Structure 1
């Protein structure tokens, strides 16, 4: 009766193999994270920025949302890999690629909420 001993040895190996295969590893899809469609207009000291790139970086971590700034100052952010929009929560606003350096008075933040999609952001 050699089969029961072989099966007894294989069962723990099989269980361990299955356990190692479960979970989010490299190449596994990310868990669904809710995003909110987000568009708006960005200004610097009250005047529309006409060029550049805006990034919304979640202060609690997570994927950044970003967009090019259109000539009229508008933008529509997307979060790569998670669908259009930004994660719900507080984000630091980072602007780059403008015609002039932005001399800001500290950091600018925006709170993204689930029931709002249009934002006006003024960099001061």
Structure 2
């Protein structure tokens, strides 16, 4: 049995993950293991499958990654789009990455970090404003 590379966390199995954010953190660490050809469209399909399974099993988890979900709504504004894209966030991020000369998966995680930071700030503001 081989030992994990020094300084690199071990690969966690899906049953060890408790929510979509933990799954995305695993994808960030090893995109080639999780996502075929590091395609955002494949990642999107996996996330939709995750949402369907969560719905079937009646979990109480918030899901931000649907085509009309909070991540998409934020992204359209972030990319300066006047209206939502019918093609979805994966295609639009791939287009933006190509225009910028960056890798789509890298661009996705950079945007996800921005989204999470802004969501954290707005949640903190909501908590401060509540009586």
Into which bin does the TM-score normalised by the smaller protein fall? under 0.3
Q: Taking structure 2 as the reference length, what is the TM-score of the superposition?
A: 0.22
| Higher percent of residues as strand | 1
Asked which structure has the greater CA Rg, the reply is 1
Q: Compute the TM-score of the two structures, normalised by the length of structure 1.
A: 0.23
Q: Larger relative CO (CA 8 A, sep 6+): 1 or 2?
A: 1
